[in-house]
Structure 1
């Protein structure tokens, strides 16, 4: 029993990021001396397109990062959200590569970070560590594929509900999401007025309410009924490939 308590205590002492907590004790020990945690504010820019990716960032707790793709009319379109289930920047690359998208902080809070070179050195020493990050990269790619399909076939209303649920699951707050109308419009790739009309229809149906700078969820079942199943598909793939990392429950202990 003491050994199990010690194992649990060791995992809980790590930054509150499910991917880092999914690592076994030996693999995390390779990273721990080089991991730092900073509080990062909302809208902080982590990478611009073309920047050399030198640091891997791990959102912790309620923190959330987003990938934005700029288009020719000057608008950014958000593609995926990354929270405590993952990391952004240099996940599987060997050495330094330029960023393709803009990556910024959606919801501020603690972010763990490690230099890409330190991570690469640790992966070179541990096949199991390399395997975990390769599996996470597969999960991220699945999320991108699902997002592409979702944008092509699902309604704005379905996608609105999906994004709100995705944000709630990643932050762990089932009552509110610190999301403005403008931010929601960017997530959906639509104008602010369109996003506001969708929110008004959800309010009229008693599904949610809005406050300055946030969305309050009143009816979780109603919200899920209005969402597409894209979140569920991504969640299922995470559970098949990297069980215990997607933030629907506490990650399992793998510190043996």
Structure 2
């Protein structure tokens, strides 16, 4: 496999550094701990491909970002959703080992907690709270996919690029190790198109791009230039998941 446990950090299963993991009940964290490991994910690593059975679930830590990509043919693919420290990937919407529909590929390198899909399903069967949490996160993930479809159909590339950069900043910070070619692939456009957009954003002082690193320098203006899709998806996350003090948690058994 292209990714592996980091010997220096193998014991650092930082539940608090992933928003979904942080919401797990303490009993679930204790049960999951012995069956989980820390792994470092490199840019371009593929966690699974379309048609492959899901064997593991990954909970990214910042700055890791994982893209869900749909392959159109041997040369073209486009991002339909992305996952960072707010969530997880691998067997989220399935019960049991089922084949993946899309490709999961690392767009921003970093660490993650890796656990067997079998163990996650076992814990879900035992915990009504965990089942509810997963259902809510699956709803949020589906909202991303649906909003991406609408965004690609109706909004210009400038707004879509601004939206992607804002989402990346939320998860990975203001410094992104990402080539323009990689960004073009994620957005499903030609590299020349992204080059033109990046040049305009840099000339206007919103970003700085140099040697495969994009630094966001004016978030307020990026928010002004993005489409409504960015805030709609973020607002939906807050509505369905919120945080550890959210009302829905009080009505769900923590076991």
TM-score calculated relative to the size of structure 1:
0.87
TM alignment of 1:67-82, pairs within 5 A = 67-72=68-73, 74-82=75-83
**Distance of 1:207 and 1:39 partners within structure 2:** 30
**Distance of 2:139 and 2:243 partners within structure 1:** 15
**Distance of 2:39 and 2:119 partners within structure 1:** 18
Q: Cα offset for 1:148? A: 0.9
**Distance of 1:72 and 1:118 partners within structure 2:** 34
Distance 1:106 1:138, change over 3 A: same
TM alignment of 1:146-157, pairs within 5 A = 146-157=147-158
Q: Deviations over 1:103-160 (max 9, x none)?
A: 1111111111111111111111111111111111011001111111111111100001
* SS at 1:90 equivalent: coil
Is 1:242 the equivalent of 2:241? Answer: yes
Q: Cα offset for 1:15? A: 5.8
Greater mean deviation of Cα atoms: 153-162 or 74-83: 74-83
**Distance of 2:117 and 2:44 partners within structure 1:** 23
**Distance of 2:16 and 2:128 partners within structure 1:** 22
Q: Report 1 or 2 for greater relative contact order, CA contacts < 8 Å, sequence distance ≥ 6.
A: 1
Aligned residue for 1:52?
53
* Contact 1:15/1:37 (<8 A) preserved: no
* Aligned residue-pair number: 234
TM alignment of 1:125-136, pairs within 5 A = 125-136=126-137
Aligned residue for 1:20?
21
Q: Cα offset for 1:13? A: 4.8
Aligned residue for 1:104?
105
* Contact 2:55/2:97 (<8 A) preserved: yes
Greater mean deviation of Cα atoms: 82-91 or 26-35: 26-35
**Distance of 1:13 and 1:226 partners within structure 2:** 35
Q: Deviations over 1:53-99 (max 9, x none)?
A: 01111111211101111113621111111000111110131211111
CA RMSD of aligned residues (A): 1.8
* Contact 2:49/2:104 (<8 A) preserved: yes
**Distance of 1:73 and 1:54 partners within structure 2:** 24
TM-score calculated relative to the size of structure 2:
0.87
**Distance of 1:36 and 1:72 partners within structure 2:** 34
Aligned residue for 1:165?
166
* SS at 2:70 equivalent: strand
* SS at 1:62 equivalent: coil
Q: Deviations over 1:217-238 (max 9, x none)?
A: 2222111111112121111111
Aligned residue for 1:213?
212
Mark the runs of 5 or more structure 1 residues left unpaired by the alignment: 1-11, 246-254
